[in-house]
Chain A
Amino acid sequence: MLPIFIGLLEDAEDQRAFAELYQRYYGRMAAVAARYFPEDPQEAEDALHNAFLQVIRHFEKVSSLSCDVLPFWLVSIVKNESITLLRRRRRVVPLEDWSAFEQAAEDGELGARTVAEVIRAMPETYRAALELRFLEERSEREIARALDLSVSAVKSRISRGRALLVKRLQEEGITP
């Protein structure tokens, strides 16, 4: 049970809105975090908690999103907080081979038919960098801090990822 006092009128809508958001999306967000930490529910809870802190910090943005988009934006936050936590706590960070991925995408070996499927098959920090840049509108420096990468590594991920997706969008006839 969660009894929550709501502050003065000025903040009441925000606080109530946040409580409702929690109520409505907590379950799915927890499930997303759990996918990243199948053996460690405590780590999953940490990632989820950090995601809610991000929601609070960016509440102005969150509150401007439509109901059609909000849940997916929240998935992005909790997923990227999970990746951040994983990268910080892993002793060995796996190498991501972009060239191999790019080649596989070109050769049609990914089995991915749509742009969305290509995105889902992407190495995780490439996709995370794109989401943080294009959905959360974070700066390259902020993304670098969040993903524990150098600014140049972030730049290269955004540039390569964007170029691949634009090419794919062109192939699908979505962009000229």
Chain B
Amino acid sequence: MTDREVDERLQRALLDALRDEWEETPADETPLSARQQRRMQAMLRDPNGYCRKKSRPVWKRAARTAASFFLVCTVSLTLLLAVSPGIRAEVLRWAREVRDGGVFYRFAGEDMEPDGLRYTIVKLPDGYVKTDDRTEERGFFRVSYRNDLGQEIVLSCADSAKGVVLEPEGRGPAEDVAFTHLTGRLYPALDPSGTSALVWEDQEEQAWFMIEAPVDRETLEDMAIWVFPELPRYRLSELPAGVVPWETPMQESPSSVHLMYVDENDYFFSLSWSYMRQGSGMGVFSSSGGELHSKDVTVNGMSGQYYWSDDPGESVCVVWVDEEENLMFTLDGMVSKAELLRLAAGVVPVD
């Protein structure tokens, strides 16, 4: 027997030991603390982004792995969408499917890209605030941020198809750099107090980007990871007494924004909205594993669904779609149905 075969036997024995342990472990659901709910929500909302925040290297893209065990374990969503009569698809642009204890929405309409090219750095070094943004010409956009010391960060974006070239001037010799799934060119500052520049192309966005900032390479790369299309901002017009937004709205992925509200004790409710592109979607799950129930509702004239589970200790949720803006909203919290729908009706754009 070769060493490799012995190791395979060992592997099997280790798995047998784990199997025994698994079978002895009770399947009872452990209740989640509010803190853990928050963390898991952030992680599940965007595993890629969450992991990127926590560490690098990051989430490995395995979407195209043919041997995905989920293809073995479950019927694929695509297949279900194609053949199952149980799938609601009364509106061609949207499909809603109930399965595996969750509800999945899938957008199948055409992309409705906002006019013009607008991006933002959603995570800036401490002390920087946005001071100016302007579209220089069609296919070229620039936004700047400044801190109390007068130091400036400038993000420039150019539509790849328009042939605009982003090339910084007055910098040291460029070097090739790689960060997450992107590659780019770093142009170091000529002196320690000068600004360095990072230029890269994001083929998914079909755009070139350049960040010029008086920071080190790592900070430049960190900012580059968090360059996302700028999404509209919303807020709740009326809040229950003692409830306040927790930090500022957080754009954790290129297409969705999340805003959490807290009271003096802890988590209260959270509002998210996401710009829908072809192939994107949304899932609603019960965090306690309870059975999900839903009821059609209307929020400010827009159709949606209200969700609750068998577990009375679990938050409730309402999902609705703004077809004109091509945005899907979710609001969930530890409140009554009436209160949740009242809060949802008070979601307004920020001027």
Instruction: List the interface of chain A (C-beta within 8 A of B).
Output: 1-20, 22-24, 26-28, 30-32, 34-35, 41-42, 44-45, 48-49, 52-53, 56-60, 62-67, 69-73, 75-76, 79, 114-117, 119-120, 127, 130-131, 134-135, 162, 165-166, 169, 174-176
Residues of B within 8 A of A58 (CB): 60
B-side contacts of A5, CB under 8 Å: 45-46, 253, 255-256, 272, 274, 280-282, 328, 330
Residues of chain B contacted by A115 (CB below 8 angstroms) = 13, 16-17
Q: How far is the CB of A38 from chain B (nearest CB, A)?
A: 12
Contact A27 B29 (CB under 8 A): yes
20 extra interface residue pairs, beta carbon distance < 8 Å, beyond A4-B282, A72-B21: A5-B256, A9-B279, A18-B44, A20-B74, A23-B101, A31-B25, A31-B28, A41-B30, A45-B33, A53-B43, A53-B51, A59-B60, A59-B62, A63-B69, A65-B69, A73-B15, A75-B25, A79-B21, A119-B16, A120-B17
Interface set, chain B 264-319, CB cutoff 8 A to A: 272, 274, 277-287, 289, 307-309, 314-317, 319
Q: Write the B51-92 contact mask toward A (1 if CB under 8 angstroms, else 0).
A: 100110111111101011110111001000000000000000
Please give the residue numbers on chain B whose beta carbons come within 8 Å of chain A beta carbons, in ascending order. 1, 5-7, 9-11, 13-22, 25-30, 32-33, 35-36, 39-41, 43-48, 50-51, 54-55, 57-63, 65, 67-70, 72-74, 77, 100-102, 104, 204, 253-256, 272, 274, 277-287, 289, 307-309, 314-317, 319, 328, 330, 332
Residue of A nearest to B58 (CB): A57
Q: Is the Cβ of B284 less than 8 Å from the Cβ of A3?
A: yes
- Is A120 a contact partner of B316 (Cβ separation < 8 A)? no
What is the total of A-B residue contacts with beta carbons within 8 Å? 261
Q: List chain A residues, Cβ under 8 A from B28.
A: 27, 31
Are A16 and B1 neighbours in the complex by a CB distance under 8 Å? no
State whether A3 touches B73 (Cβ < 8 A).
no
For the complex, give the distance between the alpha carbons of A150 and B309 in Å: 48
In the bound complex, CA of A4 to CA of B47 (Å): 10
Whether A3 lies near B1 (C-beta < 8 A) is no
| Residues of the B chain whose Cβ atoms lie less than 8 Å from the Cβ of A49 | 36, 39-40, 43
Contact A28 B33 (CB under 8 A): no
CB–CB B282/A6 < 8 A: yes
Distance to closest chain B CB from A173 (angstroms): 12
Within the complex, what minimum Cβ distance (angstroms) separates B319 from chain A?
6
Query: Can you sample 17 A-B contacts with CB below 8 Å?
Result: A1-B307, A3-B272, A3-B284, A5-B46, A8-B279, A12-B279, A16-B77, A28-B25, A57-B57, A58-B60, A60-B60, A63-B69, A72-B18, A79-B18, A119-B14, A174-B9, A175-B1
A18 to B61, CA, bound (A): 12
Chain A residues near B256 (CB-CB < 8 A): 5
Give the distance in Å from the alpha carbon of A36 to the alpha carbon of B21 in the complex: 13
Question: Do B13 and A169 touch across chains, with their CB atoms under 8 A apart?
Answer: yes
Q: Is the CB of A1 within 8 A of B69?
A: no
Task: Name the distance in Å between B343's Cβ and chain A's nearest Cβ.
Answer: 15
Q: Which of A15, A71, A135, A175 has the most CB of B within 10 A?
A: A15
Q: Which 9 A-B pairs have CB atoms at the shortest separation, nearest pair first?
A: A9-B279, A72-B18, A3-B330, A116-B16, A30-B30, A119-B17, A116-B17, A1-B317, A5-B274
* Interchain CB contact (< 8 A) of B14 among A27, A66, A135: A135
Which partner residue on chain B sits nearest A33 by CB separation? B30
Q: How far is the CB of A160 from chain B (nearest CB, A)?
A: 13
> Are B44 and A4 closer than 8 Å at their CB atoms?
yes
Contact call A175/B6, Cβ cutoff below 8 A: yes
A27 to B287, CA, bound (A): 10
Q: Are A134 and B30 also in contact (CB < 8 A) when A4-B283, A4-B285 are?
A: no
B74 and A134 contacting across the interface, CB-CB below 8 Å: no
Residues from chain A with a CB closer than 8 A to the CB of B6 are 166, 169, 175
Measured between beta carbons, the chain B residues less than 8 angstroms from A165 are 10, 13
